[in-house]
Amino acid sequence: MDEGRSHVRVDGKAKVTGTASYAADFFLQNVAHAAVATSTIARGKIAGFDLGRARRVSGVLSILTYRELADAIRPVKHLMAGGFVNSSALPLGSPEIHYAGQIVALVVAESQESAQEAAAAVRVRYESESPQAVLGEPGENSIPFSDVRSTHKDPRLGDAATAFAAAPVRVDATYRTPIQHHNPIELFGTTCVWDGDRLIVYEASRYLDGVQHGLAAQLGMDPEHIRVLCPFMGGHFGSRLALSQYTAPVAIAAKRLGRPVRYVSTRAQCFTIQNHRPDTQHHVRIGASEQGEFTALIHETEVTSSRFDNFMMEGTDVTAGLYAWRNVETKESLVRVDRNTPGPMRAPPEVPYLFALESAVDEAAERLNIDPVELRRRNDTTVNPVNGKPFVPRLLMECFDAGAKRFGWRNRSGKPPRSMREGDWLVGYGCASSVRPVKRGAAIVRVALDANGRATVATAHHEIGNGIYTVLAMETSERLGIPVEAVTVRLGDTALPPAGISGGSSTTTSLVPALAKACKTLEGELARAAITQSDVLAGMRPDQLRFSPGGSLKAESGITVKISDIMSRMGKTRLETTADAAPPGGDADAVAKLREGKLMLGGTVHSLRWGFGAQFAEVHVHSLTGEIRVPRMTGAFSAGYIVNPLTAISQLRGGMIWGLGSALLEASEMDLRNARYVNDDLANYLLPTAADIGTVDAILLDVDANPDPSDLMGLGELGIIGVNAAIANALFHATGTRFRSLPVRIEETLACVSQLQ
């Protein structure tokens, strides 16, 4: 890791002093305020409304239901089906109720307080039906992914069933992960302002062009007549997936009232008006030889989705390719429930799928009496066992070696479960792999260089908290030879060059290649001009001159020429260029689709380029009370060329802390009778606090400081992956009891330690 390249966030001062403007911060004259009423049933239809009390609230301007908006909003496909919306259930489009918390009315008033009071006074009569809330309920219908989407292929190799039956050592277990919800600090919402037939939308979204094009499709408008702005975002972690249910109704309300309308959700509404991580169930079977060689993997998964959208969270391509399996059989299935459509949540498939696999690998290590790190070493592979393609590179065991050394894994050697104690505390060590396929989308970036040595970088991509303002400033500084402070970065505006979605750890991997291409174009233009203007450079090729610190071009011979002099002779005060970059091996039309707002991610760089990591956790369980503590965690990661180690380490630590929450705290609890979330606030949706967090140590493996943009791999999601399994495995080592369902809470460990007394 090159600490010399670390740089504090260039937008940090604006954020901590409150001068950074988020979507709901923009001051507008004569703003009206909106609030929504949501359904109290999960399945059925609206039989009628009583709006009298709501209309009598002082300051109420309008109340919109499906009756007032009939046919005003056109249907648009879900993002994953080639559309733009996070839910294809038409907002306020009919009396049908698809899930609890569905928007049934939009109230607009002079103040937010009046709007919320009136929304709470909306009364709805329903004709309800019995809903299905979660996996495992009677009557559930499990549908293979391949029946839902013809292009889906379950990874297979050899005859896994026969190999498993013949294996001398076998693991056969079922693992479950719960529903989880994003809870970014910035609440969801939108502000819509009309200027004639043009619409300006202030909305936090990780896919601004999707909001622009999706809203245009819903309202029957030209996308060029819609501008979406989001210069900063207070977190998304997978939420704010695409166009939301509330935006079109707010836009229509603003049009009809002839004034701006702003909607900001309540915390409880965040649980249903955006997406969530679906609950999953994994039946994992591992067969191994007595020497610890994996002979078979069978991984069967069920994942929930809504009744009206097919959100398929595919993950067995990772579990099938992680180790040197000799035989593989996988099957992924979808189970429809009466809830809002789920969506990506940081490391969407890897968090639940790797929890299951890495827990099962730990169980195999225990049955084989082989150290868990050693078992992974014996089954390491340089090629994907399913398709035979080589990994480039694969540094999984290097991560385990670095992490084990820092963590002190050797202190666990030869110590069986329940053998380590500190007073009344049972002590356990656990580990797990972290792995994430590299993704990169198409990107378009505009770079302008002024004669005074200042540069501006512009793209419609968004700052989601990952430090992309800083990354783009640093990369521009490096490539143009100017100080970071001389670079201005403009983001989060559809008037800028179009951007795809911020997801899949693909923001940096997508933008930097396009930025590098733009900088190279500027360098070439200046070099050609310099050669024609200077006798001492005569005969040189443009590629023999490079940007050099101090605002100059430097030739291989050592001759330098000031950029200001070159541009002066060119008669220009500014040079500007726009460059695009498509993902290698991805869609050939990726850039064209991006310009049309039709592209989410351009695909993987190639399927065998993965980021790797190794997670280690020390867990303490009180032998009398069952209390769980995690005094320390260590993660070691290989993620290619790191642009800014300072923010990279911060992201990894944050992911590891989130992984702790995934293992021990986070779950959206359901009222199974009514398919309603019951802990829809930050008091009852449990998240890690400072008191829960011990030492969090993240290591980045040393890599060559090669600024080649093709070496970028993305790391935003690596930090969380495998943490839940490492903690569950440490809990086993501490207590001797396996925990196969998340989260593991004190009631489970209390029952466990009670049996030990």
Cβ count within 10 A of residue 358: 31
- β 189-195/198-202 pair status: antiparallel
Say if CB 112 and CB 264 are below 8 A apart. yes
Residue 508 burial (C-beta neighbours within 10 Å; 0-12, 13-18, 19+): buried
Catalytic residue among 422, 717, 747, 748: 717
- Six-digit token pair at 668? 């959206």
> Hey, what are 641's tokens?
């060329």
Query: Are residues 337 and 134 in contact, defined by beta-carbon separation less than 8 angstroms?
Result: yes
Strands (DSSP E) contained in 24-182 are: 32-38, 44-50, 60-64, 96-97, 103-109, 123-128, 142-144, 156-157, 169-177
Q: d(Cα 247, Cα 256) in Å, to the nearest integer?
A: 14
Residue 433 structure tokens: 């792999």
Two structure tokens written together for 70: 């009939």
Alpha helices in 369-481 (DSSP H): 372-378, 396-407, 468-480
* Beta strands in 156-264, from DSSP E residues, in sequence order: 156-157, 169-177, 189-195, 198-202, 226-229, 261-264
> Are the beta carbons of 600 and 503 closer than 8 angstroms?
yes
> What is the rounded CA–CA span in Å between residue 289 and residue 343?
39
What CA–CA distance (Å, rounded) separates 139 from 277?
22
SS3 assignment, position 429: strand
Q: How far is CA 235 from CA 186, 574, 596, in A?
A: 7, 35, 26
Looking up tokens 């001009």 gives: 529
> Over the range 566-588, which residues count as b (16 or more CB within 10 Å of their CB) and which as e?
bbeebeeeebebbbbbbbeebbe
Q: Which helix (H) or strand (E) holds 532?
A: helix 507-533
Within 13 Å and on the Cβ side, how many CA atoms surround 61? 22
Contact between 733 and 429 under an 8 Å Cβ cutoff? The reply is yes
- CA distances for 631 relative to 561, 649, 660, 696, angstroms: 57, 19, 11, 9
Cα torsion through 11, 12, 18, 20, rounded to 10: 20
Block residue for tokens 């800028």 = 496
Copy the structure tokens of residue 551: 């605002």
H/E run at residue 284: strand 280-288
| Cα 370–Cα 374–Cα 376 angle in degrees, nearest 5 | 110
Whole-angstrom Cα distance, residue 632 to residue 618? 6
Active site residue 717: yes
Query: Which residues have C-beta within 8 Å of that of residue 490, sequence separation ≥ 6?
Result: 456, 457, 458, 459, 496
CB atoms within 10 A of CB 459: 26
Which segments within 639-719 are labelled E, that is strand?
670-671, 676-677, 695-700
Phi then psi for 147, rounded to 5 degrees?
A: -80, -25
Residues with a catalytic annotation lie at: 717
